[in-house]
Amino acid sequence: FTAGEPAQVALPLVDLLAAPGGARDRQLLLGDGFLVIDRHEGFAFGRAEKDGFCGYVAEAALTAPGAPTHWVAAPATHLYSAARVQAPERAGLSFGARLTVTGAAGIFSETTEGHVPTQHLRPLGEVFADPLEVAMLFLGTPYLWGGNSRSGIDCSGLVQAALLACGIACPGDSDLQQAIGEEVAEAELRRGDLLFWKGHVAMIVDATRMIHATGQFMQVVIEETRGAIDRIAAQDAGPVIARRRPR
């Protein structure tokens, strides 16, 4: 047993891999905590602080742990080199990235990484009240297997982003997400409830619609729930296997 070495993601977006140099399982964002358990040929094996997901990250993408104070609560934003709208941008940041704010300069917050529009930030701990509101921020986001950002996201990444932003613990895989909250009957489904298939998850919008990141349309879309259920079944992906209400 090892206690591990705390670290923090130093890049805007980094892949969490199944093996050194291997396939992407998930992604981590700037400021995400990562507990390093082992190092091997330029990769660090460890556990993501936000959900316990284990995998390999390029060592160059990690830095010593800091003390983030704020998080990006807009779908996306830019990290600027100076507190001016005309200043060159250093990087794009996605919803959920975490930053250490050190001061203010007009409409910008000064951070240890650069300048970010203050209206795009919230203090850590200041969460959304409605997971569906968060999920809707990702409408039109390209589908990306294992994606966790506004640049690309998959079904479980969308649900995780929505729930974590509301202070609700959520694992990274849809099969594990089936344990969230409480089971609900089909007739009792309401806004924000989750529908699960084998390897897929969607969130209820209203009595007739749902939102999900889907490889069928290669983006985050709102779709008629009944039509989606029939289409997914016709593609041999099977029936809905669980209905959950996050809490």
- Are 157 and 213 contacting, i.e. CB atoms less than 8 angstroms apart? yes
**CATH code at position 174:** 3.90.1720.10
Let me know whether 160 and 198 are in one domain.
yes
96: domain range? 70-123
CA angle 50, 99, 59 (to 5 degrees): 65
pTM: 0.96
Residue 1 clears pLDDT 70, i.e. is over it: no
Let me know whether 91 and 28 are in one domain.
no
- pLDDT grade, residue 151 (50/70/90)? very high
* Residue carrying the six token digits 């396939």: 23
**Per-residue model confidence (pLDDT) at position 179:** 97
- Segment 83-93, tens digit of pLDDT: 999 999 999 99
Let me know whether 115 and 39 are in one domain.
no
- pLDDT grade, residue 236 (50/70/90)? confident
- Segment 158-183, tens digit of pLDDT: 999 999 999 999 999 999 999 999 99
Q: Across the strands, what pairs with 54?
A: 47
Let me know whether 194 and 93 are in one domain.
no
Let me know whether 145 and 239 are in one domain.
yes
Three-state SS sequence of the chain: CCCCEEEEECCCEEEEECCCCCCEEEEEECCCEEEEEEEECCEEEEEECCCCCEEEEEHHHEECCCCCCEEECCCEEEEECCCCCCCCEEEEEECCCEECEEEEECCEEEECCCEEEHHHEEECCCCCCCHHHHHHCCCCCEECCCCEECCEECHHHHHHHHHHCCCCCCCCCHHHHCCCCEECCHHHCCCCCEEEECCEEEEECCCCEEEEEECCCCEEEEEEHHHHHHHHHHCCCCCCCEEEECC
**CATH code at position 109:** 2.30.30
Residue 2 clears pLDDT 70, i.e. is over it: no
Let me know whether 139 and 241 are in one domain.
yes
Let me know whether 106 and 204 are in one domain.
no
CA angle 174, 71, 55 (to 5 degrees): 40
- Segment 104-132, tens digit of pLDDT: 999 999 999 999 999 999 999 999 999 99
Let me know whether 33 and 98 are in one domain.
no
How many domains would you assign to the chain? 3
Q: Using the 3D structure, point to which of 123, 142, 166 is the last residue of a domain.
A: 123
**CATH code at position 52:** 2.30.30.40
Number of Cβ within a 10 Å radius of residue 132:
17
Let me know whether 88 and 38 are in one domain.
no
Let me know whether 156 and 208 are in one domain.
yes
Let me know whether 138 and 240 are in one domain.
yes
**Cα–Cα nearest to 211, from 143, 158, 148, 151:** 158
Let me know whether 168 and 231 are in one domain.
yes
